[in-house]
Amino acid sequence: MNGLNLKVCGMKFAANIAAVASLQPDYMGFIFYDKSPRFISDVSAELIKYIPSEIKTVGVFVDEELDIVKKKVNLYQLKAVQLHGSESPGFCSELKSAFQGLEVIKAFGVDEDFDFAVLDNYNDSVDYFLFDTKTKAHGGSGKTFDWKILDSYKLDKPYFLSGGIDLEHAGAIAGIKDERLYALDINSRFETEPGVKDVEKIKEFVTKIKTTLSY
């Protein structure tokens, strides 16, 4: 996608997982947090292992026990883990060192009061940050945050941009001239119901991004 990666998160149902996989996004996310309406069942999670290898499968966890996260990584052959809770830098480091090649993404809900200094201790423990709209629900709100807040982000670590991204944001995304912007994370704004993605809308989004991006 012209230098930007795409992550489609919150996959839940077998047929829809296959349909989105056919679009070949760079990442597909699966939520292992039972309070989420997009919580994936063990039956559907078994399909993760059959997703084409060029797509990086991501397990999303919120303050889960380290041993359970490790078990899910092994069981479903996850290629990345996204941590959406208050996981410590040590937690991230231990998880990363436990698996060769596993990508660790640490998510943070940001608003105008967010202190970017908290990221300093994570810089050597994760591969990417993910910036989402701050909510009590750990993501999936469908709401954007003011992207100008990211002007206060001073580290070199690449990041995923998340939080209410929709078709209408393609032009604004093209206006973000930040080489650290590694990936776009789309979810609820591309759904017909929680966990069911609108494949045609995702196709349209990818086309818009490709035609508007200039770097």
2: left (phi over 0), alpha (psi -120 to 50) or beta: left
142: left (phi over 0), alpha (psi -120 to 50) or beta: left
Right CATH for 5-212 from 3.50.50.60, 3.40.50.12590, 3.90.1150.10, 3.20.20.70: 3.20.20.70
- Across the chain, the runs of DSSP E, i.e. the strands, are 5-8, 27-31, 56-61, 80-83, 103-110, 128-133, 159-161, 181-186, 191-193, 196-197
DSSP 63-99: S--HHHHHHHHHHHT-SEEEE-S---HHHHHHHHHHS
| pLDDT band (50, 70, 90) for residue 137 | low
- Residue 213, pLDDT > 80, answer no
What value does the mean pLDDT take over residues 72-91? 97
Query: What are the pLDDT digits (tens) for 138-185?
Result: 445 557 888 999 999 999 999 999 998 999 998 888 888 899 999 999
**pLDDT of 196:** 97
Catalytic positions, written as ranges: 9, 132
- Note the Cα 207 to chain centre separation in Å: 20
**Band of residue 85 on the pLDDT scale cut at 50, 70, 90:** very high
Residues in the chain: 215
Percent of the chain with pLDDT over 90: 80
- Taking the model in full, what pTM does it have? 0.93
Which residues lie closer than 8 Å to 102 by C-beta, 6 or more apart?
73, 78, 79, 80, 81, 95, 96
pLDDT of residue 92: 98
The pLDDT, as a whole number, for residue 215 is 41
pLDDT tens, 25-71? 999 999 999 999 999 999 999 999 999 999 999 999 999 999 999 99
Q: Specify whether the CB–CB gap between 3 and 180 falls below 8 A.
A: no
